[in-house]
Amino acid sequence: MPQMDVSSWPYWFKATSINIFAYQFYMLYGVYTCLHYREIYSFLQRNIHAIATLAIIMAIGMLFYYRIWDQKILGMDGDSSLSLHQPYIACYDIVMLNLIFWLGKKYATFRQRGFPKWLENFINLAVKVSFGMYLNQTLGLLMLSWLLSVFSLPDWIMMMLIPFGWVLVIAISFMIAWFCYKVPPFGFLVGRPNWHPFRIVNERLF
């Protein structure tokens, strides 16, 4: 909360964005999961219905948390409202990470049974450009923001269109990453170099 004077607070409370408990938590949690892999997966298997339900409730609650609690009640600006170190978001992240871990395990088991050829090809392609999508997602978000500013839709319609907005950003990011992946020399922009001057020299010489 930027309007609060935290100069007298203990370091661990006023520096939550850089202290080990907040900043390093996810890496420590990953190490703990690795060391206690079977126990954690068994826990997730037993409680997955509660975890999935909680994840859905918290995802919906995130919308109200951001707009009503952070901005209207606490009066926080946009940057502070999006801070990843807020208590609610930290709890939300823990729930979502566990859900994604469980989904990943189920996906791996399901894939061992064999996928249709078209789905297998799509997954392989998505894996190749996924890092590029991560890098260029801001472009998709900017295009979505521009579209929303052009149409000036009421709030309730904006809420209804959130899933479509997600799909649009993913589609735009995918197309940009795919273009860079396939068209030299843009591959380096998505972590998949597809052209290098030394390679051309070597091919001509040898």
How far is CA 90 from each of CA 33, 65, 73, 87, 140, rounded to the nearest angstrom? Answer: 17, 13, 20, 5, 26
> Worst-scoring range by mean pLDDT, 12-21, 62-71, 120-129, 168-177?
12-21
Query: How is the chain split into domains, by residue range?
Result: 1-114, 115-206
Across the range 65-84, mean pLDDT stands at 82
CA dist., res. 158 & res. 164, Å (int): 10
What percent of the chain is modeled with pLDDT above 70?
A: 92
Output the pLDDT for position 1: 64
Output the pLDDT for position 205: 45
3-state class (DSSP) for residue 10: coil
pLDDT band at residue 128, thresholds of 50, 70 and 90? confident
Distant-in-sequence, close-in-space partners of 171: CB < 8 Å, separation ≥ 6: 140
How much is the mean pLDDT over the chain?
85
Query: pTM for this structure?
Result: 0.65
pLDDT band at residue 199, thresholds of 50, 70 and 90? low
Task: Reply yes or no on whether the pLDDT at 131 is more than 50.
Answer: yes
Rg (CA), the chain: 22
Tokens found for residue 185: 């020399």
CA angle 23/27/28 to nearest 5° reads 95
Higher local confidence (pLDDT), 24 or 62: 62
Give 8-38 pLDDT, tens digit per residue. Answer: 888 877 777 777 777 788 888 999 999 999 9
Output the pLDDT for position 5: 81
Across the range 109-132, mean pLDDT stands at 84
Across the range 91-101, mean pLDDT stands at 93
Q: What does the DSSP assignment read for 69-113?
A: IIIIIS---HHHHT-TTSHHHHHHHHHHHHHHHHHHHHHHHHHHT
